[in-house]
Structure 1
Amino acid sequence: MIRKNNEKETVRKPAPFNGVGEITVRSLLNGPEEMSQKGRVFGHTTVYPNSEIGYHIHTGDSETYYILSGTGRYNDNGTLVTVSAGDVTYCAPGEGHGLACIGDEPIEMIALILYE
């Protein structure tokens, strides 16, 4: 399978999990069917300045962020850590996380959610 850039599903929407502002999600793979039933999200996400993906707990899956650009405040189970380009975050099943864009530049990241 090859998905050309202009074939990706792109959605700009309110930040999830009672977050603030907006995000854009570009689906790199479209759900479990394209991920061998091992995950549900593989996407390129933009978190805009003054926007935040709200804190949430993962049940039955894990989530990894690979930060491409921008600066954020990552909530790792209640511990706040500044993240920037090149950093990787991991939220295991049963744990929680959130991410706020704290710079003037949007956060660009790859998000991957895999089933437990």
Structure 2
Amino acid sequence: MKLCFSQLEETPMPQFKGGEKTTYSRFMDDGHNRIMINRLEPGASIGLHTHTGSSEVMYILSGTGKAICDGVSERLGPGDCHYCPEGHAHTLINDGGADLVFFAVVPQHS
């Protein structure tokens, strides 16, 4: 199945998971996987949350920021991939000067 993210409406999600500012998302969710392109403006973040019943893979397309997973901070930029396994907690923070754009997949575990 081909997904054309440019044809999907960008959905604003204010203070997503308790984060700062607004996360913008273009996504498809079939109940088994959520596949998305997300955008965080400078100073925006996704709040710290634990993946229960799911995991998450984030691939950075543009911009810079940091992920904190289980208390460990990692710098991220274009071409970097962040993985948060099921049962672990993470947050993503755009501390750069441009939008942080990333492709993410959140598979649901049985």
- Partner of 2:24 in structure 1? 24
Instruction: List aligned pairs for 1:5-84, cutoff 5 A.
Output: 7-27=7-27, 30-32=28-30, 37-39=31-33, 41-84=34-77
Post-superposition offset of 1:18: 0.8
What CA RMSD, in Å, does the superposition of the two structures yield over aligned residues? 1.5
Alpha-carbon deviations, 1:62-114, whole Å to 9, x = none?
Answer: 10000001111111111111110000011111011100001110100001000
Q: Please identify which structure carries the higher strand content.
A: 1
Q: Percent identity?
A: 28
2:103 alignment partner in structure 1: 110
Q: 1:38 Cα deviation (Å)?
A: 3.2
Flag as ranges the 4+ runs of structure 1 deviating above 4 A. Answer: 1-6
Q: Residue 103 of structure 1 aligns to which amino acid in structure 2?
A: G
CA distance in 2, matches of 1:98, 1:82: 12
Give the TM-score normalised by the residue count of structure 2. Answer: 0.90
Runs (5+) with no aligned partner, structure 2: none
The SS at the match of 2:19 is coil
- Counterparts of 2:17 and 2:32 in 1: how far apart (Å)? 23
Which residue of structure 2 lines up, in the alignment, with residue 99 of structure 1?
92
Distance 1:2 1:103, change over 3 A: same
Letter matched to residue 29 of structure 2: G
Name stretches of at least 5 consecutive residues in structure 1 with no aligned partner.
Answer: none
Amino acid at match of 1:26: R
Partner Cα distance (1:2, 1:64) in 2? 19
How many pairs were matched up?
A: 109
Change (3 A) 1:2 1:93: closer
TM-score by length of 1: 0.86
